[in-house]
A and B are shown apart, each in its own frame.
Chain A
Amino acid sequence: MGGLEIFIDGTIRAVEIILSGNPEIFQITLLSLRVSLTATLLGALFGIPVGYLVAIRNFPGKSLCIAVINTLMGIPPVVVGLVVYLMLSSDGPLGFLRILYTPSAMVIAQTVLTFPVTCGITISSIISLNPRLKETLVSLSAPRFWEAVILINEIRIGIITSFITAFGAAISEVGAIMMVGGNLLGYTRALTTAIVLYTNKGEFSMAIALGIILLILALFVNLTLTALQMHYRRHKG
């Protein structure tokens, strides 16, 4: 089969799988979605507060700190996978948790990947806000907490951007979840790890079909997030 034929065959199979609701593929897709969405949200849960604090506080080494966070946005997933594997391994410091080769381990690894993304974008969004806004809040002597709520509300479009970027990084990565999830059939097999497996097996059209399903999935998530973003943009100011 030539390259183009494999691609066409893969597309047909993707449509077949979606229409027939193949339970195995459905489960794999659901796992990918669950793991990556949870990791995106957890990354935001830690990334937004940390990013906010780094952005508004002045402390020695602030530039270095921001540079490190921005660098971590580019960390290879397989390195994250290896570090998290060594942590969660039976011999590792967190081995007692017994969560290696489980979806929870996959969420942890992907959270390590999404955290710097949300954190870094929060920092740059807060820094690029009009400095007068902060001065006004200070002059009004607003409580610290409300100051944070108001400023974070101001950067909500940036935060949605960070969700889109973080989710994109999580759903498409294979190195980290392969290491800590193990690609176990019916349990930790996600779309990307299944694509690698089918490629190794030489079942190229199946790999292409799963790739198409992954893109469709990412498209739906991004449509939702983009709609939210446009909504905020219209209602800004």
Chain B
Amino acid sequence: MAQKKYMLKGLLVLAVIATGLALPLMNTPSNVGNRLIVATTTSTADTGLLDYLKPYFDEKYSADLVWLSLGTGQAIAVAARGDCDLLLVHDREREDEFISSGNGVLRVTVMYNDFVIVGPPDDPANASGTDAIRTMRKIAESGASGGCVFVSRGDGSGTEALEKKLWESSSVCGFLLSGWYLSAGSGMAATLRVANELGAYTISDRGTFYKLKDSINESLSLVVICENDSRLLNPYGVVLINSSLYPNINSDLAQKFLLFVTSPEGQDLIGNYTVGGRQLFFPIYGQTEKIGLPREYETIAYIENLRKGG
């Protein structure tokens, strides 16, 4: 009998816990209408740029800016399913595809930084310089004779897309199955750590590389092997998602975010963001010709029209 009583007590306790825990989960928070979900790349999230912009944007539009930190590949896939409100990514070709397939309505360059090819300080491939094509060829040559290793992101990210483009321009092929080419299948920071451990070469956005290099927690011995080649430019685009295809997305707030990052205030904020005294992102909205990219006349006219309330 006593046993039964304890059993009942136990069940009662469990029932109380269950309802107590389940109830708050059923209620959606009141601010859900103000939430803007941005699907973005690990580079904007892990460098802290979005953490920095969030309070300014949230206050101005009484919004709640949140983000999914994904590789560009996954970010675009998530957007193509209508699971986020806005894209902030860096793979021009796939961004354009997203627009031409009708999933997106507008794409504009808002900022840029650049990639650096990094490697071990002793540079076994003798690849250092400012010509990315030469560097890639040297790495491939040295790798083929067992002199060095290259670590690729291998996660379908914008960085990997650039790497593949560089190999193509360098007419290096057949590297996928060779022993000197490793595919990490990881984010930028993890890939840099792998390359560091192996004394290997890799390609990184400058922001993540210096964030790790400057961090006291990391003992990154990798150094910049190649930089300042125009092929290494890394422009970031904001993509508005087609709200007629995905009626559930928060397109109103997405548009406000677009206007915010392209406003003089937003552009200044991006330019003022530093990590360890180093500027990581450079505002470039409306001035893409300055870095040798085509001017985005129509898009800019459209955005400025929006800003005027047109």
Contacts and interface: CB of A to CB of B under 8 A. Distances in A.
A228 interface: yes
B217 A100 contact: no
B103 to A, nearest CB: 11
B217 A202 contact: yes
Interface in B58-104: 64, 66-69, 81-83
B144 to A, nearest CB: 32
B68 A182 contact: yes
B46 interface: yes
Nearest to A156: B7
B25 A38 contact: yes
Interface stretch (B10-18, B153-161, B222-230, B253-261): B10-18
A221 to B, nearest CB: 11
Nearest to B74: A179
Nearest to A31: B25
Interface stretch (A51-59, A119-127, A129-137, A183-191): A183-191
Interface residues on A, range: 35 or more
A197 interface: yes
A104 interface: yes
Interface in A1-60: 1, 6, 34-35, 37-38, 41-42, 45
Interface string A177-204: 0000011111100000000010111111
Contacts of B291: none
Contact of B6 (A1, A37, A183, A231): A231
Interface string B1-33: 011001100100010011001101110110000
Nearest to A89: B81
A39 to B, nearest CB: 10
B69 A183 contact: yes
Contacts of B190: 200
A45 B18 CA distance: 10
B271 to A, nearest CB: 22
A205 interface: yes
A81 interface: no
A69 B168 CA distance: 48
A107 interface: yes
Given A184-B66, A204-B217, A34 B17 contact: no
- The 7 lowest CB-CB distance pairs between A and B, nearest first, are A90-B82, A184-B66, A41-B18, A38-B21, A202-B215, A91-B81, A89-B81
Interface of B: 2-3, 6-7, 10, 14, 17-18, 21-22, 24-26, 28-29, 35, 37, 42, 46, 48, 54, 64, 66-69, 81-83, 187, 189-190, 211-212, 215-218, 246, 248
11 contacts: A41-B18, A41-B22, A45-B18, A89-B81, A90-B82, A90-B83, A182-B37, A186-B66, A200-B187, A202-B189, A228-B10
Given A35-B25, A38-B21, A101-B83, 18 more contacts: A1-B216, A34-B25, A41-B22, A45-B18, A91-B81, A91-B82, A95-B82, A98-B248, A107-B25, A187-B35, A200-B187, A200-B190, A201-B48, A201-B211, A204-B217, A232-B6, A235-B3, A235-B6
